[in-house]
Amino acid sequence: MKLWTTLVMAPAVLLAGGLQPVDLPAPQTDGGMPLMQALKERKSSREFTATKLAPQMLSDLLWAADGVNRADGRRTAPSASNHQEIDIYLATADGLYLYEPKSHRLLPQTSDDLRAATGTQPFVKDAFANLVYVADFAKMTGSAEDQTLYSAADTGFISQNVYLFCASQGLVTVVRGSVDRPALAKAIHLRPEQRIILAQTVGYPKP
């Protein structure tokens, strides 16, 4: 069964061999673990099950990562000069999607399972999801040095949001720099001005 067939009442099922955009449930933005406890629980893990995240959990995860949290369109993670240059790609067994924060939906990129291509470690191919953080330098101003620095910092903010969300919800995660960037960029058809910064594996822990 495809992941998105669980999203009933949303136009997100697999149709005629092509993935359709996924309208995520509205994020639940109240409750959760107190911040100090989440910081205490925050850690990296490299042992994951392939158990799928429920649609609501996935929705909350992506909103926590870099969702819109104000009426003016600003995000849960800061970005230099509000460039909002970091795109989040979601790689699962069902395909690759691009998270669109303004509409809080997933835009399909390919139905290929690219999890193994998102890192060099063996666990990435079996975990439920891998997030790929891609900087779009076309959205930025300043020197190439500044763009590199600030896009790296902005990715760090997003990945820490994911760490704290996972700690709060009983998920595990690890952010990774071991990525064959040229190969992955080709697989997801990035433009020359787009650069893969980091990847982050997310899922349930092994018992």
Is residue 8 domain-resident?
A: no
pLDDT tens for each residue of 159-190:
999 999 999 999 999 999 999 999 999 999 99
Q: What local confidence, expressed as pLDDT, does residue 3 receive?
A: 53
Is residue 32 domain-resident?
A: yes
Q: Tell me the pLDDT of the chain averaged across its residues.
A: 91
pLDDT at 105 over 80: yes
Is residue 3 domain-resident?
A: no
The end-to-end CA distance of the chain, in Å, is 24
Sequence letter at residue 173: T
Phi-psi region of 31 (alpha: psi -120 to 50; beta: other; left: phi over 0): left
Sequence letter at residue 26: A
CA-based max dimension of the chain: 47
Question: Is the Cα dihedral 51, 158, 88, 59 positive or negative?
Answer: positive
Confidence bin at 207 (pLDDT 50/70/90): confident
Collapsed DSSP state (helix, strand, coil) of residue 128 = coil
For 89, the domain range is: 24-203
Is residue 144 domain-resident?
A: yes
Mean pLDDT confidence for 45-74: 96
Looking at the chain, the whole-number percentage of residues with pLDDT higher than 70 is 92
Query: Within a 10 A sphere around the Cβ of 84, how many other Cβ atoms?
Result: 21
| pTM for the model | 0.90
CATH code for position 57: 3.40.109.10
pLDDT at 36 over 50: yes
Interatomic CA distance for residues 114 and 26, integer angstroms: 27
Interatomic CA distance for residues 117 and 105, integer angstroms: 23
Is residue 65 domain-resident?
A: yes
Confidence bin at 157 (pLDDT 50/70/90): very high
| Helix ranges, 23-85 (H) | 35-41, 55-66
pLDDT tens for each residue of 122-154:
999 999 999 999 999 999 999 999 999 999 999
Is residue 11 domain-resident?
A: no
Domain count, the chain: 1
Is residue 2 domain-resident?
A: no
Q: What local confidence, expressed as pLDDT, does residue 32 receive?
A: 87
pLDDT tens for each residue of 5-15:
434 333 333 43
Annotate 36-62 with b (16+ C-beta within 10 A) or e (fewer).
Answer: eebeeeeeeeeebeeebbebebbbbbb
Is residue 9 domain-resident?
A: no
